[in-house]
Structure 1
Amino acid sequence: MGRLLFQNVTDTFTERISVLANEPSVALYWLQEHVRRSLPELARHKAAMQRWEAQSQGAIYTADYDRSAVKKLVDSSVYFRSVEGLLKQAISIRDHMNASAQGHR
């Protein structure tokens, strides 16, 4: 009889502990503990990601600006060819004028 009573008491105690351990407020407590412990690390990761994002945006802006400058140089090649033609024309006129001046002497 004593053994059966002891078995009943231990079973009841185990059941009550199990109910208490699975109580929603206990789960919330452990969730809160997890958040409290992991939040500083998450905040550090967030700050690092924000710094990386700012650096990336700066690099993207710089690359875009450089690409735009190169495109403008390529687009201006028409003007460089025009200037080159005008310079050749001016040199030709100068040479013609020099030759004419030499002929009159």
Structure 2
Amino acid sequence: MSYSTDSDLEVKVKKATERISENMHIVANEPSLAFYRLQEHVRKAINPMVDRRVDVNKLHQELQGRCYDMEYAVCAIKAMDKAENSFKNIQDNLKNSIFLKQQLKYEESRRKKPDGNSVYKRLSAHITIDLPELPELSDVVRETANRVESMMKATHS
């Protein structure tokens, strides 16, 4: 029986050494497998992360630009508060100028009297020449009379 015991022992030793060898192989290769998995993960994740970082930087620059715009707008609004007195003065001056313009218009309308006795009308009343009917001539005379009247009004004003 010693022979059979030796064969069982031999099988058991062989199995044990195989397991030890397998475990040593796993333990020896485990760090490289971990590094492989890390490398694989980094390779897959790096491009999206770089794209996100570029997007974040771009958004950061846009945000900074908008912050500068807001600061400029706030300064402009504060400056407008300081200009309130100037705007009130402008408004008062506009009201006064409108009032004065209305007064001038009223005074002008009072001074102008319907002028039924123009120089031309008085002159033409004394002339008693009978001219033949010429339609072209009467239009020219009427136009000339209007011009003379307007010139006379301009010199009397």
- Asked if 1:64 is matched to 2:77, the reply is no
User: What pairs with 1:44-63 in structure 2 (closer than 5 Å)?
Assistant: 44-63=47-66
Q: Percent identity?
A: 5
Aligned residues: 103
- TM-score when normalising by structure 1: 0.74
The structure with the largest alpha-carbon Rg is 2
Match of 2:27 in 1: 22
Per the TM alignment, residue 36 of structure 1 is displaced from its structure 2 partner at its CA by 3.0
- TM-score when normalising by structure 2: 0.53
Describe the shift of the 1:92–1:21 C-alpha distance in structure 2 as closer, same or farther (beyond 3 A): closer
Q: Distance in 1 between matches of 2:41 and 2:58?
A: 26
Match of 2:10 in 1: 5
- Asked if 1:93 is matched to 2:127, the reply is no
Q: Distance in 1 between matches of 2:73 and 2:26?
A: 68
Q: Which whole-Å deviations, capped at 9, do the CAs of 1:53-80 have from their partners, x for residues lacking one?
A: 2222123113202311320232022244
Q: Distance in 2 between matches of 1:78 and 1:32?
A: 65
Unaligned runs of 5+ in 1: none
Higher normalized contact order (CA 8 Å, seq sep 6+, divided by chain length): 2
- Name segments (4+ residues, structure 1) moved above 3 Å: 95-98, 100-105
Amino acid at match of 2:76: L
